[in-house]
Every structure is written in C-alpha cells, then in structure tokens.
Structure 1
Amino acid sequence: MRLAQGIVIDKEKTFGQLKFSALRREVFLNNEDGTVSTEVKERTYDLKSREQGRMIQVSIPAAVPVKDFDYNAEVELINPVADTVANATFRGADVDWFIKADDLALKNKKPVPSPKPSEAKTKQE
C-alpha cells in the first residue's frame, strides 16, 4: 500500500534548520535477471533536523549530481514529500516512512549574477 502522491511537507515546521551530514548510501537499479546493476537509482543523505531533534534520511534522484557540501552546512530540501510503504502482517501492518525530495541545495546561497552584455562591453573598453 502506498499513498498516491505522498504527503507534501511544510519544510520549516517539519524540519526546522537542516544541516548536511553525509551521503548515506546509493541505491542501484536491478538488471533484468535480478542482479544489481552499476546504474544509480537514487542517493540518500543524512541531514540533521533541528525540529525533529535527530538525523533524518532524504532520498534524491540520481539525475541530480552528487552533493558534497561541507559538514554542518545549512541546506534546504527542494519539493520534499513524505511517503510510506506498508506490509501486511498477521497482527496488522508494518509501516515504513521515507522522505524524498527533488534536490538538496545550500540555504541562502546567493546566485552569482551574470553581467549584462552592455555592461560587459563597457568593462572591456
């Protein structure tokens, strides 16, 4: 059983300040014969959550480049969603929660503006 679209999360209320810890693991795709391939499906990172008071794990798609931020760098999740996987047991069900996001970025990182073409010509002259 899965939630159709997952649960959209209010980042600030749920996690508070997030600090980067490390890459926890890479999940690989399986080949047609069931063996593990060398193609990465997703990467899971450890983040310290002030609001949760503990470490959380967040999975990011493999299409996103590997994140290698400084330890304790303040980060933010891009479009986080919580989801579940439930497995029926004789006494009910075991439920596992997990968090996925589209990306992980440094918080308050100011993008470097590219100069306008007219300004670049003025500086060259």
Structure 2
Amino acid sequence: MNFRSGIKPDVKVTFGDMIFMGMARERREYDPDKSFQERPLQARVYNLASSTQGEQIEVTVPEYVDEKEIDFNAPVELKNPTIRARAQASGNGFANVIWTVEAEDIVEVGKKTSKEPMNEPVGAGAEKK
C-alpha cells in the first residue's frame, strides 16, 4: 500500500459528531540558529472531541487559515480531512506509529467558511433608477 497522499476518510463514519475543544498549539518552523527570533508559522493544531472515536483528537490546519474563534463545545465539521501516519523511533529498536489528522478548515455546523461565496443574486440590494 502506498499512502503518500494520505487516507481520505468518510468524515461521518470515522469521526461522528465533533465538538470544538480549543487550540492546542501553533506549530512553527524549527531554526536552532535563530531561536531568539519569531519563527514562521507552519500550522495550528486544534483539539476536537469525536463521538465515534470516543476521545479527543488533534486536527492540524494550515497557517493561511485564520485562527479559529469558535465557542467551546460548539459542533464543528472538517473540510477535506486527510489522515497520515509516520513512524517515531522509540530508542529500543522499535517504532511507534503516530497518526495525524489534517484538514483544510474547521467550521461551525451551519456556518459558511469565509471563502464560500454568498448566494446573493447579482445586483441584489442595488438601487434602481
């Protein structure tokens, strides 16, 4: 099997209902020579509760998405999530598999993302002469 592009899950089956728990951390580029300066932001990691998984999951969102201002315990949805795996050496000749969830965005249920067009007809609200 080759999962270089990640696994595209059926969101409802894999995660069920999801509840926003807050931001866990910001992930920044690592530069040991410039540790005193602000390093560029790579992504933000948010905690969500998943009804199907029965636990909290971490979801990584790219840096170009605005920081989320969603109320605690608000129902949310993931936009185009991908599941990836990586191995982390444990030091005793074995490795642990680390599963990560990445998404294009996290939005409140029933709300539109800022990138979705408003379904307003052309010329609506314009005064007629």
Aligning the two structures, in what range does the TM-score lie when normalised by the shorter sequence? Answer: 0.7 to 0.9
Q: Counterparts in 2 of 1:1-125, with a 5 A limit?
A: 3-31=3-31, 33=33, 35=35, 37-88=38-89, 90-109=92-111, 113-114=119-120, 116-117=122-123, 119-122=125-128
Runs of 4 or more above 2 Å deviation: 30-38, 87-93, 110-116
Whole-angstrom distance in 2 between the partners of 1:52 and 1:15:
6
Give the C-alpha shift of residue 58 in structure 1. 0.3
Relative to its length, the structure with more strand (as a share) is: 1
Deviations 1:1-48 (A, max 9, x none): x94111111100000011111001001112373637432111000101
Question: What is the alpha-carbon root mean square deviation over aligned residues?
Answer: 2.5
- Corresponding pairs, count: 122
- In structure 2, runs of 5+ residues without a counterpart are none
Identity %: 33
Whole-angstrom distance in 1 between the partners of 2:57 and 2:9:
14
**Which residue identity lines up with residue 83 of structure 1 in the other structure?**
R
**TM-score for the superposition, normalised by structure 1:** 0.82
